[in-house]
Structure 1
Amino acid sequence: MEYQYPRGNVFYRKLDRVYPLIHRGEGIYLYDEKGKRYLDGSGGALVVNIGHGHREIFQKIIDQMGQVGYVHGTQFTTQSIEEYGEALGRRLPSGLNKIYFLSGGSESIEAAIKFARQYFFESGEVQRWRVISRWNSYHGNTLGALSLTGRAGARRPYLPLLIPFPHFPPPYCYRCPFEMTYPSCELECAKALEKLIQMEGPETISAVLIEPVGGATIGALVPPEGYLQKLQEICTRYGILFIADEVMSGMGRTGKWFAVEHWNIIPDIMVLGKGMSGGYFPLSAMITKEELVDRLKQRGTGFVHGHTFSHHPVACAVGMAVLRFFEKKRLVEGCAEKGRYLLKRLEELKEFPFVGEVRGKGLMTAIEFVKDQKTKEPFPRKERFTEKVIDRAFENGLVLYPGTGFVNGVNGDMVMVGPPLIIEEHQIDELIELLKKTFLKLS
């Protein structure tokens, strides 16, 4: 059975898409009710870090529900919440030791920018409220998070509703917005942040929010060496909080527990989601430093923020089970090695004339498509090249994650390849063969 709007009472984002009915998931594969197998080459939206169908995770859900399924975050705590906080805390970068559990990445971004604002409000710097982020970023779809997101197409229908937060260009070396080359550019893309701060007024800025490795909008964009260090140095100089959005890149996805660790960066606030629960339950977190939370404690206000399903006991039980699975299977260490192999195999795809750049870190990778490899000219949006790739791959039993519009707000085509971290080398080979089969149909 398949579903397409207007069939049934449920509607989805893609109103013209035919949705197969998935019957079960096992490892890196999904099976629809007709028996067709799909290799989950993107883990949904790079969510399914530990793979599908692990019964030990199901059992933890059942066990916790048998004890208590829900308590409100202003009334009680549970053993599952406190134990997961302790276990996750042991994996966090030094100094990040206070965790606020939520149920989705957008929620955690909202919590982060509100926390930054309240921190300065309680510190007497009431004029600091603005948050700077980057173009070609993705931080979520709630209005605050969308105001920070740098994806033109997602913003366009809602512009009258958005907060006018300032943005600066990403470190997009393949298409440098400054028409320069690294390292002779001397990180002009990082200097752009300081120029923007000075133009907007540093006394009005509460935080700078960035994805350490660019995610859903621009596709596994790895910054050049020295870039993140330069951003943090600028933030420190102006007394601005530095927020790392690790919703997609965190929890082992890049071959470190957190992407900032590749560059020895410790942000003031870090946001997690997606892979925390591996998709088994809605779970995210806003994480910060004790000295920042202490400011709220000293003022006697607490954190003026909350959601019905924050600090959820079942979500935290799932998070704990997933964390233990990570540790038992040594998935983070394995991801680094598997990621190198995946990138090496993806480079082979440059034999196809429409493959422009292959990029990424660990098992967070992307393929950017171009009309002309030499000039890097993008396909016109009307050709819907990414959609063609996604559809042909789907026919071949391969699931990828699409991205468009990152070149000029309209053009730009890419797919993200981010399979579960449990993938084996021979399954990476299978994934590559499915990609080649897909690309041959488009040649």
Structure 2
Amino acid sequence: MASAHVFSRGGAERVRVDHGRGAELVDVEGRRYLDAAGGAVVVGIGHGVTEVVEVAAAQASRVAYVHGSAFSSEVLEEYADALGPLLPLENPRIYPVSGGSEAVESALKMARAYHLARGEDRDVVIGRHGSYHGNTRGALSVSGRQGLRQPYLPWLTGVAHTSTPYEYRCPFPEAHPDGCARRHAEALEAEIQGLGPARVAAFVAEPISGAGLGACVPPDDYWPAIAEVCARHGVLVVADEVMTGFGRTGAWFGGDHFGLRPDLLVAGKGTASGYWPLGLAVASGAVHDTLREGGFVHGFTYSHHVVGAATGLAVLRVLQREGLVEASARQGERLHAALRRELADVRVVGDVRGRGLLQAVELVADPATREPFERSERVTERVLEACREQGVLVYPGTGCADGRRGDLLLLGPPLVVTDDEVDRIAAGVAQGLRDVLGGVGAGG
């Protein structure tokens, strides 16, 4: 029986988990599940890696907490030095926090403080339609998911939104596919000019879209075109790598696929692989030095946490030692091919897309017109449960098509997933789809 005192997420009673190992979870009744979503695309190194737990416990037994304004620590500095060379910024400086939303909040404040230190009062941040950057007020403001924003709109200020590369539903069909990047850059340019270039502090976007639009990979020339517009107007580029970082897309960071060198970068999820709530706001050396000169009024009780740093360092070492970034690229190709093979006769599959072990399946009522299902049909929720019955856990997404309609299955298994597990994931998803949608057009 569920506790009467837990404020749970959602209304349904949750199955109780008992333990996990690798890409598998086991509930209290002994039923096994393939964690094809890594929870919320969090778990990178796999469940049950005892060496990471032991490192965290050893640090906690030595000293569990000091305030970041009073002490640094050897483990924090070791972690920053180990991670620094992997980050796609010039002379990166790492500000550890407790998760992705805090990292985004920190980066937004860094962007504002940077311009103030330079004598410029820039007060607007530009995000993208359909994006998701977190659920704190600043992060939600720059997000572009209508359903999440709607209840809190009176609080969400200081932002604007521009187009996002969503190749399956390209907003510029007349330019698709070769002219998309140019049109997105022109749209950003127009937004900046409309707001006034002297007001725009930063542009925030995921290098590859995560949960909001489902593993949408932009054209190769998108990021170079966007970065040029931002540089020309002195607008800082903030790369949201919360979902795409730490090997998830088959590179250390999603922006690496496009040669992106942002001014600020935020990370979370795979940073500590779920073993500790750890996020990172990272500034380039130039941004950091300006902030140091001008002052940066900011801080969290649990930032710069010693146990978090120890956990992050242990996870980083596992990723490197086991070659899991390379494994993500390899297994991502296998998963993408397996999904296309298993879903080839399922007519409601509109698109299979992604990079590395961040893959998505978009479901549509009519593949010819790409018409989405009505939200009242609750297609994603029903398929999610059917996949669970097949022993495969996937991550849901809704609203991608028009802010309300649009059904997605997002797949982000641990990077340790085996060949057999990849094939079982694809087969389980296909069977779950047939079980739910067999009466509305599924083939086979």
| TM-score between the two structures when normalised by the length of structure 1 | 0.96
* Counterpart-to-counterpart distance in 2, 1:152 and 1:354: 25
The corresponding residue for 1:168 is 162
The corresponding residue for 1:345 is 338
The corresponding residue for 1:331 is 324
**Cα pair 1:405 1:412 within 8 Å, conserved:** yes
**Cα pair 2:117 2:291 within 8 Å, conserved:** yes
The corresponding residue for 1:311 is 304
The corresponding residue for 2:393 is 399
- Kindly indicate whether residue 346 of structure 2 is the aligned counterpart of residue 364 of structure 1: no
The corresponding residue for 2:4 is 8
What is the CA-CA distance between 1:18 and the residue it aligns to?
A: 2.1
- Kindly indicate whether residue 276 of structure 2 is the aligned counterpart of residue 284 of structure 1: no
- Kindly indicate whether residue 419 of structure 2 is the aligned counterpart of residue 425 of structure 1: yes
Residue 427 of structure 1 aligns to a residue in which SS? helix
**Cα pair 2:210 2:243 within 8 Å, conserved:** yes
**Cα pair 2:358 2:412 within 8 Å, conserved:** yes
- Kindly indicate whether residue 218 of structure 2 is the aligned counterpart of residue 228 of structure 1: no
- Kindly indicate whether residue 45 of structure 2 is the aligned counterpart of residue 50 of structure 1: yes
**Cα pair 2:132 2:143 within 8 Å, conserved:** yes
Counterpart amino acid of residue 313 in structure 1? V
1:241-267, CA deviations, whole angstroms, 9 ceiling, x for partnerless residues? 011000000000000000111111100
Residue 92 of structure 2 aligns to a residue in which SS? strand
* Counterpart-to-counterpart distance in 2, 1:321 and 1:116: 30
5+ unaligned residues in a row in structure 2: which ranges? 439-444
Residue 350 of structure 1 aligns to a residue in which SS? coil
The corresponding residue for 1:218 is 213
- Relative to structure 1, the CA distance from residue 106 to residue 96 in structure 2 (aligned partners, 3 Å threshold; closer, same or farther) is farther
Question: For 1:46-195, what aligned pairs fall within 5 Å after superposition?
Answer: 46-126=41-121, 128-180=122-174, 181-185=176-180, 187-195=182-190
Identity of aligned residues (%): 44
What is the CA-CA distance between 1:105 and the residue it aligns to?
A: 0.3
**Cα pair 1:96 1:269 within 8 Å, conserved:** no
What is the CA-CA distance between 1:163 and the residue it aligns to?
A: 1.1
Counterpart amino acid of residue 283 in structure 1? L
**Cα pair 2:250 2:332 within 8 Å, conserved:** yes
Residue 351 of structure 1 aligns to a residue in which SS? coil
What is the CA-CA distance between 1:185 and the residue it aligns to?
A: 4.4
The more displaced of 132-141 and 183-192 is: 183-192
* Counterpart-to-counterpart distance in 1, 2:403 and 2:42: 26
**Cα pair 1:270 1:288 within 8 Å, conserved:** yes
The more displaced of 186-195 and 405-414 is: 186-195
What is the CA-CA distance between 1:288 and the residue it aligns to?
A: 1.1
Counterpart amino acid of residue 430 in structure 1? R
| TM-score between the two structures when normalised by the length of structure 2 | 0.96
What is the CA-CA distance between 1:14 and the residue it aligns to?
A: 0.5
- Kindly indicate whether residue 240 of structure 2 is the aligned counterpart of residue 245 of structure 1: yes
1:324-353, CA deviations, whole angstroms, 9 ceiling, x for partnerless residues? 000110000111111111111111213201
Residue in structure 1 matching 2:264, options 260, 264, 269:
269
**Cα pair 1:147 1:165 within 8 Å, conserved:** yes
The RMSD of aligned alpha carbons is 1.1
* Counterpart-to-counterpart distance in 2, 1:291 and 1:418: 34
Residue in structure 1 matching 2:28, options 26, 30, 33:
33
* Counterpart-to-counterpart distance in 2, 1:316 and 1:55: 17
Counterpart amino acid of residue 235 in structure 2? I
**Cα pair 1:96 1:287 within 8 Å, conserved:** no
* Counterpart-to-counterpart distance in 2, 1:241 and 1:94: 12
Residue 84 of structure 1 aligns to a residue in which SS? helix
What is the CA-CA distance between 1:132 and the residue it aligns to?
A: 0.2
- Kindly indicate whether residue 9 of structure 2 is the aligned counterpart of residue 19 of structure 1: no
* Counterpart-to-counterpart distance in 1, 2:250 and 2:355: 7
The corresponding residue for 2:403 is 409
